[in-house]
Amino acid sequence: MLAVRTLSIMKRPTTMASTPSTPPSPQSLPSKTTSLRTLSSKKPRNILTNPIPEEDPKWVPLNLSRSELYLPLTFPTGQTFRWKQTGPIQYTGVVGRFHLVSLKQLDNGDVGYYFHCTTSDSESAAKVALLDFLNVGISLTEVWESFKASDKRFAELAIHLGGARVLRQDPIECLIQFICSSNNNIKRITMMVDFISSLGNYLGAVGGFKFYEFPSLERLAMVSEQVLRAAGFGYRAKYIVGTVEELKSMPGGGMEWLAALRKVDLPEAIVSLCSLPGVGPKVAACVALFSLDQHHAIPVDTHVWKIATRYLLPELAGTSITPKLCNRVADAFVRTYGKYAGWAQTLLFIAELPSQKALLNSMEEKSPNSKKRKLGGITKVPKE
């Protein structure tokens, strides 16, 4: 249980806060315009492009069943803000920094992939990057079987929410995204992340969205706090600039330093991440779970607090949230679910999303052997 004791309360972004107008493009900003124009190339070097044909492209199966990966329960649930829905049960994004790929849930339940552009070498390296990003080395079916044996509630939800997989993102990309997420709402986070992404090399357009290679630390270092503030980042501009400077100053570069956190214990990873400007336990836990192989990191937010006090720690119901009590919640998740507790928490968080509650209600009403009360209050939509 020691592994989670450095974590504190995490309030995930909601969609109710006011949303500013779309941030200006890098080319339209008032300062550093000339240098910023050098950051984004309209034609990436050494890239082979495969535009989506007018007819349905030839999807290559990944041999991942719906129970191993269900796209609507993986991509639009707050793990990443760079992937876009570009068709019916189809999502598009970048893996390995410069491989633009679409994923589609096929009629047989399998997931198919299609590379729009990749390096001039071959698609083999791109597929390796894709499989790594999808964390396919971990059998979701096996992990969930152990969860279901430990928790009746999880077993009930798993019937309806199969295939919610935790991604293995690029650490720098994940870190910058979650600094943007601090005290923010999903629409505004997405606009900020899109702005940052647009500073990288242009890869192509799919489904009306433009996609870019995520900018390197060197490119990000060319962006001033003033430029980010003008783009609507607010106080987060200072943190992004400061974090980029800190990472660049580290021996071996920031990427090596972040990747090394995959090999240390969770408390050390959290403390190390919290040494960066603008990174507190909230952001650190998300980065640890979604990019650093810290599978038992627990991003505790208000929804997770409600779940824990309802099912794991009922004695805490009605008490005020404090960092100490949040540590108890994290410990309770690890006691119940073990070394992949963060994966279990992710599904339970998804079940609390209003969109998923509506889906669960619909499925529950159609089930002849089920009563709404079985899901323990799942019909009650939380206030955002």
Q: Is 238 a catalytic residue?
A: no
d(CA 163, CA 110): 11
Strands 209-212 and 202-206 turn out to be antiparallel
d(CA 347, CA 208): 30
- Cα 253 → chain centroid: 23
d(CA 37, CA 41): 8
Residue 253, class by beta-carbon neighbours within 10 Å (0-12 exposed, 13-18 middle, 19+ buried)? Answer: middle
* Marked catalytic residue, from 210, 263, 282, 366: 282
Tokens of 283: 């952001």
C-alpha atoms less than 13 angstroms from C-alpha of 150 in its C-beta half-sphere:
19
Cβ atoms within 10 Å of 193's Cβ, excluding its own: 20
The DSSP letter of residue 43 is S
Quick check: 78 and 356 in contact, CB under 8 A? no
Strands 111-119 and 202-206 turn out to be unpaired
Quick check: 206 and 100 in contact, CB under 8 A? yes
Residue 217, C-beta contacts closer than 8 angstroms, at least 6 positions apart: 172, 244, 247, 248, 253, 254, 255
* Dihedral over alpha carbons 283, 287, 290, 295 (to 10 degrees): -100
Distances (CA, A) of 300 to 95, 132, 278, 305, 328: 28, 26, 18, 6, 10
Question: Does residue 282 sit in helix, strand or coil?
Answer: helix
Question: Does residue 355 sit in helix, strand or coil?
Answer: helix
Nearest alpha carbon to residue 286 among 328, 338, 241, 349 = 349
Enzyme catalytic residues:
282
